[in-house]
Amino acid sequence: MKEDLDEVVETVFRRAPVLARLVDGAADKPTLVADLDVSRSTVDRAVRELSVHGLVERRGGRVGVTLAGRLAHEAFETYRSRTGDVLVARSLLSHLEPDSEVDERVLEGATVLKMNPAGPGEPTDQTAEFTEDVGRLRALVQGITNSDGVEAVRDAVVEEGMVYEPVYGPGIAEFVRDHQLEPVREMAATGRFRAFETGPMPFGLYLADGDDDVSVSIVVHDDDNYYRGSILVRHRDAFEWAAGVYERYRRDADEITDRFRP
């Protein structure tokens, strides 16, 4: 069965242009030659190979796609699209371990934001944009957030009523207490701030839940803990994946909200 599957996959990849054309409608061979700008012998071989696997069939003098052929074409296009999304993000993914828990579906339609050169803090404008019109923000905080970024979160919590629930990685909570305590204390005083602390995490993660949409930001740091960039996605599948990752880390974390209370 495996050998047959490999043969089918190879045929779908190699004969994708012919299969795609036939998904659009049945055609005779001269039409395929003209539409695809290939030789008659190429069309003959493609039709023969696709027919062997039941992906196309002859209908009188024309060739048409079967249901199996249409579904195989759709699977091929999905693979191409997801691979394209991975390639867009690969410069940031290269800073993560190969076994990092990132599902390729999460990268669908992603916007990749890079930091050149890399820096010690996450850009303020990205943090501010991510808190706009958001009711609840959850985060796995792997690296340092610039002070202006903390102020943007503070404004959203104190002035706009946003709920903020960060899970800090090693050393981050201590840095916040030493350098960013005042705005965090103001957040804690509202009752809409809960902080947690846990062990190492493979990447940073922000989940913004707004009235009209959801957003996820995968935040990537290098081995020196310098911010390299973010992968931003705005669809429900990514949000559900991110929520699952966040909840696993939070479940094993210690609550430290009292450290930030006045």
Q: Which DSSP category does 62 fall into?
A: E
Cβ–Cβ under 8 Å, residues 251 and 146: no
Helical (H) or strand (E) element with 23: helix 16-23
Residue 121 has a pLDDT of 56
CA pair distance 121, 156, nearest whole angstrom: 20
Residue 144 has a pLDDT of 82
Q: Is 246 exposed, middle or buried (0-12, 13-18, 19+ CB in 10 A)?
A: buried
Look up residue 89 and give its two tokens: 């993000």
Helix spans in the chain (H): 2-14, 16-23, 29-36, 40-52, 67-93, 124-130, 147-158, 172-179, 181-190, 236-251
**Which class does domain 96-260 fall in?**
alpha beta
Helical (H) or strand (E) element with 154: helix 147-158
Full pLDDT tens readout for the chain, 262 residues: 445 888 999 999 999 999 999 999 999 999 999 999 999 999 999 999 999 999 999 998 899 999 999 999 999 998 998 888 888 888 888 888 899 888 887 888 888 888 765 555 565 566 667 788 899 999 999 988 787 889 999 999 999 999 999 999 999 999 999 999 999 999 999 999 999 999 999 999 999 998 778 999 999 988 877 888 889 999 999 999 999 999 999 999 999 999 998 7
Q: Dihedral, CA atoms, 249, 255, 259, 262, nearest 10 degrees? A: 120
The bridge status of strand 196-197 relative to strand 144-145 is unpaired
CATH second-level architecture of 2-75? Answer: Orthogonal Bundle (1.10)
Cβ–Cβ under 8 Å, residues 6 and 41: no
Residue 228 has a pLDDT of 87
Q: Is 60 exposed, middle or buried (0-12, 13-18, 19+ CB in 10 A)?
A: exposed
Residue 105 has a pLDDT of 79
Residue 1 has a pLDDT of 46
| Domain locations in the chain as residue ranges | 2-75, 96-260
CA pair distance 54, 66, nearest whole angstrom: 7
Residue 116 has a pLDDT of 66
Cβ–Cβ under 8 Å, residues 134 and 162: yes
76: β partners? none
How crowded is residue 98: how many other Cβ atoms within 10 Å of its Cβ? 5
* Residue 210: strand, helix, or coil: strand
3-state helix/strand/coil string of 80-122? HHHHHHHHHHHHHHCCCCCCCCCCHHHHCCCEEEEEEEEECEE
Residue 101 has a pLDDT of 87
CA pair distance 211, 74, nearest whole angstrom: 33
**120: nearest Cα among 152, 150, 148, 145:** 145
Residues 6+ apart with CB under 8 A from 119: 226, 227
